[in-house]
């Protein structure tokens, strides 16, 4: 049983110490909870948006390129989080936990094989994290974003369809990740 899927927003890379604070909190959390880390797309997905404006891409191509951007952030996270292991498919998550590792999902291969979500900018890493949380039977989904202001309106249009109603979720900022921050 996975206690939580924790989606680390790619926009944390734009804020001075947000990523380091988040990494420290995740390392502590993983000592007491079973988690799966899912990256956002952040500047990697933004690069796809920018390229698409200059060189129009099909929705399919933009979708898969943005998910590859999530893979890039996953590699960065796995390299920075102590005891992390980069995983690519559902079965690898349990194996990483069995080895005492913190799995960080690079979702491209899993999503490409399952292809569960619409291919449009209406689906962001928030919806992908919600879908993954449902697939692994997580008790909850935690979305870490740089700023809580307007965080609920920042959720993509598909989020409520990707997230089963029984899946609890919280939106937290790096500043909230102190002490006993894990939402029960």
184: in domain: no
181: in domain: no
Contact assessment for residue 131 and residue 162, using Cβ atoms and an 8 Å cutoff? yes
Q: Look up the pTM and report it.
A: 0.95
138: in domain: yes
CATH of the domain at 73: 3.40.1160.10
Chain segment 49-66, per-residue pLDDT in tens: 999 999 999 999 999 999
Rounded to a whole number of angstroms, the distance between the first and last alpha carbons of the chain is 15
Chain segment 78-110, per-residue pLDDT in tens: 999 999 999 999 999 999 999 999 999 999 999
The residue segments making up the domain with residue 172 are: 4-176
Q: How far is CA 49 from CA 52, 89, 141, 174, in A?
A: 5, 26, 26, 26
């Amino acid at each position: 049983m996975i206690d939580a899927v924790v989606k680390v927003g790619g926009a944390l890379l734009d804020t001075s110490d947000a990523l380091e604070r988040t990494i420290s909190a995740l390392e502590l959390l993983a000592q007491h909870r079973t988690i799966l880390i899912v990256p956002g797309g952040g500047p990697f997905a933004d690069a796809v948006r920018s390229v698409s404006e200059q060189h129009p891409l099909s929705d399919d191509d933009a979708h898969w390129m943005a998910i590859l951007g999530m893979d890039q952030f996953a590699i960065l996270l796995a390299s920075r989080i102590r005891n992390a292991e980069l995983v690519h498919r559902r079965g690898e998550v349990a194996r990483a936990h069995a080895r005492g590792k913190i799995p960080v999902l690079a979702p491209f291969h899993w999503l490409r094989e399952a292809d569960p979500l619409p291919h449009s900018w209406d689906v962001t890493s928030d919806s992908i994290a919600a879908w993954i949380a449902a697939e692994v039977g997580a008790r909850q989904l935690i979305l870490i974003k740089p700023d809580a202001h307007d965080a609920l309106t920042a959720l993509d249009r598909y989020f409520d369809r990707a997230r089963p109603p029984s899946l609890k979720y919280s939106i937290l900022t790096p500043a909230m990740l102190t002490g006993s921050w894990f939402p029960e």
